[in-house]
Each structure stands twice: as C-alpha cells, then as structure tokens.
Amino acid sequence: MALPAHSPTLSDEPIIITAMRTLLLLLLAALLLGLGGAYAFWLRDTPPSHYLTDLRSDIEQLGGPADWHGNLLSLNPALFPSDYSSPARLAHKLDSALLHARDNGLLTAQTVVVLPAQIGTWLLLSDEKPQVYAARSLREARPLLALNNPLKLLRSWWFSEAASLDELLLRMKAQQAADDYLELFAQLARKHALTLHAGSITLPEPRLVDGRIVTGHGELHDFGLSFAADGRILGPARSQTLLASSAAPRTFEQVLGDDRLSTRGNGGSGPLIETVSLRRQQSTATGVTVLRGRLWPVQTDRLQLQLTAASPDSHSKLLNFWIAP
C-alpha cells in the first residue's frame, strides 16, 4: 500500500527558509572567496611591461669655447609614464643623454648638470601594472593605482588630511619614491663624476635624517637635492610647500664647493620652468630647465601642476652654457 505524499505544512516553512538562507550565505561566501582569490592573484601577478623609449637627445650650445671656466648643462628630458616603471629605466634614459654630452666634450670636472623640477614625482609609478603606463590620463590610471595599492592608500587616508584621491596617490608610496630618488641621482652623479642639481620630487613633510630622506604625513612639499661627484649630498635641501611653490616660488641659493647656484621656479599652473644661475668666480651662466614629453598633471584639492611642456618630438634636450673666464 503506497504511503500518501507529504506536502509542506506551515510548520515546515521556518526550516525551508533557514535552509534557503544557509544556501544563499554559502553561495555568497564562495563568491567572495573566489573574488578575493582572483584579486589576490591579480595583485601578485605583475607581467613585465614592454618598454620602448626614445633615447635620442639634441644639444644646443651657448657661450664660448670649451677652454672657459667649465659649463652649466641643462638636461631637459622627454619623459613618459613608462620611463618610471622602474628607477633603472629612468636612470637609463638620463644616462643616455649624459653619455651623448660626454661624447661631445660637455662633461668635465668643471661641469654642473641641472635637471628639471618635479622630475622625481612619478617615481611612485614604479612596479605598477602595464595598463597604468598605457593610460592616457591620471583619471584612467587612478583605479588601477588604487586597486594595486589598497593598504598603502588606506594608510595614507588614515594618517593624512588629504581631501582628494590624487593627493592620496601622491602620498601612498612617498617613502619608496624618496628612497629611489636619493639612490638614483646619487648614483648618476657618481657614475659621471659631476656635480648634479637633481631637480625635485613631491613628498609629504620631507626631511633629511642622517643622509636619508624621511617622509611624514603633513603638507606636500616640492623637495630637491644636489649631489657632489662622489654622490654625497651637497648643501641643505631645497624644500617649499607645493602650494607656496606654485603661488610664490622662492629663490634658493646653494653653495656647491666654490660655486653658488640659485634656482627659481615660475609658479602658476602652466608647465614648470626653473631658471638656474651658476656663479663661478666673477662669471655667471644662466639656463632654464623644463620637463618635456607627456607626464600626467599633478592635481590636489587646492592646485594643479602641469609637469611637462608640450614638445613636437620625443627627443631630450641638452642646453649647454659655457662660463666665461
């Protein structure tokens, strides 16, 4: 004799609802675990990016012959986000231009090389995903930078009062960028045995401690160093808040051995141009530095900095100024 089929009753409904909730929670947990695993794999997986860059540089000479009292050499490199994928790649780009100068007799023990303002800022792009370097704007790169550095971004947000995502991005890898800046330009000065005015980098509350750049959580600064031919730091650091350097840039005077070097930015929201004057004995050479290429503008809640000047080609420029006897 067949047993009658059991149909759900009101007393069974709580059991069914509980089972459905449990199943949904299990499915949701599995989905979250899958997404978390995929995200963790994406974070760890950084495929090598294809790197092509133009190493050509053009030389323009001003002044007298090479037997004068040395020279002031302004290196205005054409830089792109991919040049910052590692400090070694940026060093290679700058090194190629300096080797070109050496081949043309422009690097001697009497040479002072100057680099543009903010040349170090995008060192924070080191070791990012290849898609970052292909981005056409910072707006396109923001999500990738944030996703690839969640803990660093969260730490910057927690310890600083930054109101914009762009400012948090500038802060999140500041200490790493500061270390790379110091090592890169000290090595460049040592390799070519020259005095190097290394341009600047945007850092939060930077200070020099026992020969190391230490960053904090305060205001963003335009910070720069100069290096002797043996890689030692020369003189005090050049440091001014980013807001002040845009609104009312200071003139920095530095003593570099027997020389006096003064630098002053142009301020404003246009391309950053610095005027650099080198006084040696009774003679003075004056040049200008500006970044070429295509680097994304730096934006904070209070200002915008246009890092690179529009250039018709991707060549770096070397402007040489001989110092009269």
Listed residue (193, 185, 288, 303) closest to 240, CA to CA: 303
Is residue 188 one of the residues assigned to a domain?
yes
Domain that residue 137 falls in? 57-322
Q: Number of folded domains in the chain?
A: 1
CB atoms within 10 A of CB 42: 12
Is residue 44 one of the residues assigned to a domain?
no
Q: Are 62 and 319 in contact (CB under 8 A)?
A: yes
User: What is d(CA 133, CA 52) in angstroms, rounded to the nearest whole number?
Assistant: 12
CB atoms within 10 A of CB 244: 14
Is residue 138 one of the residues assigned to a domain?
yes
Listed residue (93, 56, 57) closest to 73, CA to CA: 57
Residue 242 DSSP symbol: H
User: What is d(CA 189, CA 159) in angstroms, rounded to the nearest whole number?
Assistant: 35
Is residue 298 one of the residues assigned to a domain?
yes
Residue 316 pairs in a beta bridge with: 57
* pLDDT single digits (tens) 296-315: 887 766 767 777 776 667 78
Is residue 21 one of the residues assigned to a domain?
no
* pLDDT single digits (tens) 143-196: 888 888 888 888 888 888 766 888 888 899 999 999 999 999 999 999 999 999
User: Against a cut of 0.75, is the pTM above it?
Assistant: yes
Listed residue (119, 212, 128, 131) closest to 169, CA to CA: 128
* pLDDT single digits (tens) 79-112: 999 999 999 999 999 999 999 999 988 888 889 9
